[in-house]
């Protein structure tokens, strides 16, 4: 494990990886509490699997961009450390499975050699920043949002304000009003806009705030019709600061930003955001528009004549999987990837097959496919043949036949019923019985293994999520059926309605019933959701009610898709975010560790970072003493309030004529200057010493 210490060029990354190695060792030796260690590894992309003793590793690929070399490196890593498979996610990441915990630092170090990171791919952090996969080549876009997504990713990576939030935070950039990055389900969603001032083009974004799916979907609020491009990072920073201070931390089911906005109201939330701006690291942040250059297109080559292996299928593929880019003469080519899985051997063959014909940049799509760029028209037959040989030329990308799914019970702790096999079965139904619908890009089918919507069932026109039912004294695998979700456009979206719950083995019957009714009763050129609205929710409940009848169950319906044994629910503890640490000694140790980070940041002239680390010192130390009194506040704001009530107002702790609120909340009343950073650092150090002395006195009692 020593090799990565000399091979990495970035000392910050190297320190990160060495720290993970040491923390793993400390955890194995019993020096770190399990929940603290879980939080630490999650923030480094290491997630416990359903199978005991192994990990899922999530590889963070900002806006889904990966080069041929990076894809090959990830394939090599999966062969050496995982299960020789790459899983594409709905957040444009790649996941590998069955990794030994002890090998994750070495794995991470090797990935970093090709500029690939695991950092903050999981946990209570800013997750992967996503964008429309076609950004940069989208004929509808007003400008390329890729550099903006990259800037946001880079600014918040390792940023102290978002390392230990109450819950994860998701950001997206759509390339146009088509909103193909789903701004309305994100904590912050950005849609590009242009206006003209004095004859000059000015770039900005429509800003959507507080969206989310999960068990309780919420559609985002429009908070800016036009926010200048230089303000998107300062605004995002202010939002995250408020979320970190006021967001729920004990009940993870109520800890997302959408619940905080529901609790205090949008107007109050926006007031707090405005109040935080003085503390921001930057008041304006100019985006480098050239930070993500377009990849070099293949040179002009006279391709040899080639015979199409399957002319009819090529026609379908060309109609559904290929589009002309905004760069005339070039085409984008989508690859439909069944259940998002690419075996490593197939990944290498894919790179060999496509590299002569497309640019060296692949984008992972939100429906678990791939997008290739800058193919010339004469190269398309060669691409089709090459993809066909690999089983990757299925037509119907992003159509009814392209079902999105999460891993479900295959590997996820939270999975209730199978989603991967069900996805394949539903696709087979479409291809074999509704071939004309492979051209239909209006209807989207999405599946999640549970209600948390990793497969995005909550925004599907036809959605399913894993569940269970009881019948005949036994439990059987089931799916909740949802209808009517989807994109409206320009930040407006629809959350799908729950219709009924049926045995999982009847999901195919549900799909047939809905598609048959749609074909029989839709008006000319009527979109699915217009047809759904016209018929009404109760119409579909009555349509599907006979399918939900449990008096006609067969024995095989007690066995889930892809399984041979009788179904039993086996839900583990979810790790989509860390768990609160309630150990007093651990919190005091954390406060001292964070003080070291604050001191180091100050010495490096990173004054804003030093100030936020000092703020975290106050919070950890105060929480430690509150726990001694059995007070476990669920927010930073609550900790501040309770510390004044329990210790300052009672005279147990004196703070030089100040309340704790006044002391700690200097942070949002001062510019992040060197002078204030020095003062705040000294105050944090003094506070920790006071807390330690109080704690030692309490122990002696």
SS3 annotation, 468-504:
EEEECCEEEEEEEEEECCEEEECCEEECCEEEEEEEH
pLDDT tier for residue 252 given thresholds of 50, 70 and 90: confident
Q: Degrees (nearest 5) of the Cα angle 656, 241, 172?
A: 175
Torsion of CA 88, 93, 98, 100, to 10 degrees: 160
Same-domain check for residues 635 and 519: no
pLDDT at 701: 57
pLDDT at 503: 95
Using the predicted structure, report yes or no on whether residue 582 has a pLDDT greater than 80: no
pLDDT at 573: 46
Structure confidence by residue, pLDDT tens digits, 177-192: 999 999 999 999 999 9
Half-sphere exposure of 239 (CA within 13 A, CB side): 25
Q: Which range among 58-62, 129-133, 435-439 shows the weakest confidence by mean pLDDT?
A: 435-439
- Strand ranges inside 30-186, DSSP E: 46-48, 55-59, 65-66, 85-88, 94-99, 130-131, 171-173
- CATH number (domain holding residue 328): 3.30.70.3340
User: Region 123-139: what's the mean pLDDT?
Assistant: 97
- CATH number (domain holding residue 668): 1.20.120.330
Same-domain check for residues 488 and 619: no
Using the predicted structure, report yes or no on whether residue 581 has a pLDDT greater than 60: no
Same-domain check for residues 137 and 170: yes
Residues in the chain: 701
- CATH number (domain holding residue 239): 3.30.413.10
Domain boundary among 336, 356, 389: 389
Half-sphere exposure of 323 (CA within 13 A, CB side): 15
- Measured between alpha carbons, how far is 207 from 192 in angstroms, rounded to an integer? 9
Same-domain check for residues 375 and 433: no
Measured in whole angstroms, how far is the alpha carbon of residue 214 from the centre of its chain?
12
User: By the 8 A CB rule, do 614 and 680 touch?
Assistant: yes
- Please give the mean pLDDT across all residues of the chain: 92
Same-domain check for residues 383 and 411: no
Same-domain check for residues 197 and 87: no
- First-to-last alpha carbon distance for the chain, in angstroms, is 46
Write phi, then psi, for 660 (nearest 5 degrees): -65, -40
Quick count: other Cβ atoms within 10 Å of Cβ 487? 23
Contacts of 436 (CB under 8 A, 6+ apart): none
pLDDT tier for residue 7 given thresholds of 50, 70 and 90: low
Same-domain check for residues 379 and 410: no
Contacts of 599 (CB under 8 A, 6+ apart): 610, 681
Burial pattern 295-333, b for ≥16 Cβ within 10 A else e, equals bebbeeeeeeeeebeeeeebebbbebbbeebeeeebbbb
What total of structural domains would you count in the chain?
A: 5
299 domain residue, yes or no = no
User: By the 8 A CB rule, do 124 and 575 touch?
Assistant: no
User: By the 8 A CB rule, do 14 and 4 touch?
Assistant: yes
Same-domain check for residues 412 and 554: yes
105 domain residue, yes or no = yes
Domain boundary among 260, 279, 298: 279
Tell the residue number behind the tokens 């007093």, with chain if given: 584
Same-domain check for residues 469 and 521: yes
pLDDT at 214: 87
Q: Give the residue from 132, 171, 176 showing the smallest Cα distance to 155.
A: 171
Same-domain check for residues 601 and 523: no
> Which tokens in the block code for residue 124?
């209570």
Which residues, in sequence order, are bridge partners of residue 630?
A: none
- Measured between alpha carbons, how far is 381 from 223 in angstroms, rounded to an integer? 46
pLDDT at 18: 87
635 domain residue, yes or no = yes
At residue 191, the 3 state secondary structure works out as strand
Domain housing 200: 130-279
Using the predicted structure, report yes or no on whether residue 577 has a pLDDT greater than 60: no
pLDDT at 583: 67
Structure confidence by residue, pLDDT tens digits, 633-684: 999 999 999 999 999 999 999 998 799 999 999 999 999 999 999 999 999 9
Write phi, then psi, for 47 (nearest 5 degrees): -125, 130
pLDDT at 566: 66
Using the predicted structure, report yes or no on whether residue 1 has a pLDDT greater than 50: no
575 domain residue, yes or no = no
Higher pLDDT, 660 or 33: 660
Q: Give the residue from 339, 479, 333 showing the smallest Cα distance to 402.
A: 339
Q: Are strands 171-173 and 130-131 parallel, antiparallel or unpaired?
A: parallel
Higher pLDDT, 2 or 64: 64
- Measured between alpha carbons, how far is 695 from 701 in angstroms, rounded to an integer? 10
- Measured between alpha carbons, how far is 613 from 183 in angstroms, rounded to an integer? 31
User: Region 575-594: what's the mean pLDDT?
Assistant: 68
pLDDT at 188: 98
Write phi, then psi, for 188 (nearest 5 degrees): -135, 125
565 domain residue, yes or no = no
92 domain residue, yes or no = yes
pLDDT at 541: 98
pLDDT tier for residue 254 given thresholds of 50, 70 and 90: very high
Same-domain check for residues 329 and 417: no
376 domain residue, yes or no = yes
Structure confidence by residue, pLDDT tens digits, 427-483: 999 999 999 999 999 999 999 988 888 899 999 999 999 998 999 989 899 999 999
396 domain residue, yes or no = no
Same-domain check for residues 78 and 154: no
Domain boundary among 80, 112, 144: 112
pLDDT at 563: 76
pLDDT at 56: 92
Structure confidence by residue, pLDDT tens digits, 313-345: 999 999 999 999 999 999 999 999 999 999 999
């Amino acid at each position: 494990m020593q090799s990565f210490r000399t091979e990495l060029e970035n000392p910050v990354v190297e320190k990160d990886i060495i720290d993970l190695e040491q923390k793993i060792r400390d955890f194995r030796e019993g020096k770190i509490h399990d929940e603290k260690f879980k939080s630490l590894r999650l923030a480094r992309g290491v997630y416990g699997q359903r199978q005991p003793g192994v990990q899922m590793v999530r590889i963070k690929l900002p806006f889904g961009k990966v080069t041929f070399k990076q894809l090959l490196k990830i394939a090599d890593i999966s062969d050496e450390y995982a299960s020789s498979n790459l899983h594409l996610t709905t957040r444009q990441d790649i996941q590998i499975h069955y990794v030994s915990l002890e090998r994750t630092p070495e794995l991470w170090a090797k990935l970093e050699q090709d500029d690939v990171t695991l950092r903050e791919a999981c946990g209570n952090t800013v997750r992967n920043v996503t964008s429309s996969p076609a950004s940069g080549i989208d004929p509808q876009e007003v400008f390329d949002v890729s550099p903006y997504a990259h800037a946001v990713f880079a600014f918040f990576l390792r940023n102290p304000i978002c390392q230990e939030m109450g819950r994860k935070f998701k950001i997206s950039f759509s390339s146009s009003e088509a909103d193909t990055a789903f701004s309305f389900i994100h904590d912050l969603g950005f849609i590009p806009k242009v206006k003209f001032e004095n004859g000059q083009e000015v770039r900005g974004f429509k800003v959507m705030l507080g969206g989310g799916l999960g068990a309780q979907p919420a559609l985002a609020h429009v908070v800016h019709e036009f926010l200048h491009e230089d303000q998107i990072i300062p605004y995002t920073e202010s939002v995250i600061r408020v979320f970190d201070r006021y967001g729920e931390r004990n009940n993870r089911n109520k800890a997302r930003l959408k619940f905080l906005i529901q609790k205090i109201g949008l107007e109050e939330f926006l007031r707090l955001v405005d109040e935080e701006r003085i503390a921001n690291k930057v008041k304006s942040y100019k985006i480098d528009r050239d930070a993500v250059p377009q990849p070099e297109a293949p040179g002009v080559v006279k391709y040899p004549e080639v015979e199409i292996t399957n002319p009819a299928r090529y026609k379908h593929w060309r109609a559904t999987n290929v589009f002309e880019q905004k760069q005339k003469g070039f085409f984008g080519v989508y690859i439909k990837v069944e259940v998002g899985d690419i075996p490593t051997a197939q990944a290498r063959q894919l790179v060999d097959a496509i590299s002569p014909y497309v640019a060296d940049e692949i984008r992972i799509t939100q429906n678990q496919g791939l997008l290739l760029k800058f193919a010339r028209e004469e190269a398309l037959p060669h691409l089709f043949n090459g993809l066909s040989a690999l089983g990757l030329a299925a037509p119907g990308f992003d159509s009814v036949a392209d079902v999105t799914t999460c891993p479900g019970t295959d590997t996820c702790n939270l999975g209730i019923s199978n989603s991967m096999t069900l996805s394949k079965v539903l696709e087979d139904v479409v291809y074999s019985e509704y071939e004309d619908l492979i051209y239909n890009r209006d209807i989207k089918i999405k599946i999640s293994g549970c209600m948390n919507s990793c497969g995005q069932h909550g925004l599907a026109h036809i959605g399913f999520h894993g569940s269970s039912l009881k019948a005949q004294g036994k439990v059987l695998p089931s799916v909740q059926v949802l209808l009517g979700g989807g994109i409206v456009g320009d930040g407006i979206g629809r959350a799908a309605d729950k219709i009924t719950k049926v045995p999982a083995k009847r999901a195919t019957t549900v799909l047939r019933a809905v598609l048959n009714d749609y074909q029989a009763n839709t008006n000319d050129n009527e979109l699915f959701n217009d047809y759904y609205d016209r018929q009404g929710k109760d119409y579909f409940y009555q349509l599907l009610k006979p399918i939900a009848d449990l008096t006609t169950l067969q024995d095989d319906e007690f066995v889930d898709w892809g399984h041979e044994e009788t179904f039993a629910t086996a839900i583990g503890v979810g790790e989509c975010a860390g768990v609160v640490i309630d150990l007093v000694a651990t919190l005091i140790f954390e406060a001292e560790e964070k003080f070291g980070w604050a001191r180091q940041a100050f010495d490096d002239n990173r004054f804003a970072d030093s100030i936020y680390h000092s703020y975290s010192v106050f919070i950890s130390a105060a929480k430690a003493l509150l726990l001694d009194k059995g007070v476990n506040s669920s927010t930073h704001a609550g900790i501040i309030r309770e510390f004044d009530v329990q210790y300052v107002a009672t005279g147990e702790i004196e703070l030089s004529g100040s309340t704790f609120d006044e002391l700690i909340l200097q942070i949002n009343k001062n510019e992040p200057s060197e002078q204030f950073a020095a003062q705040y650092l000294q105050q944090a150090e003094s506070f920790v010493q006071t807390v330690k002395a109080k704690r030692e006195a309490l122990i002696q009692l």
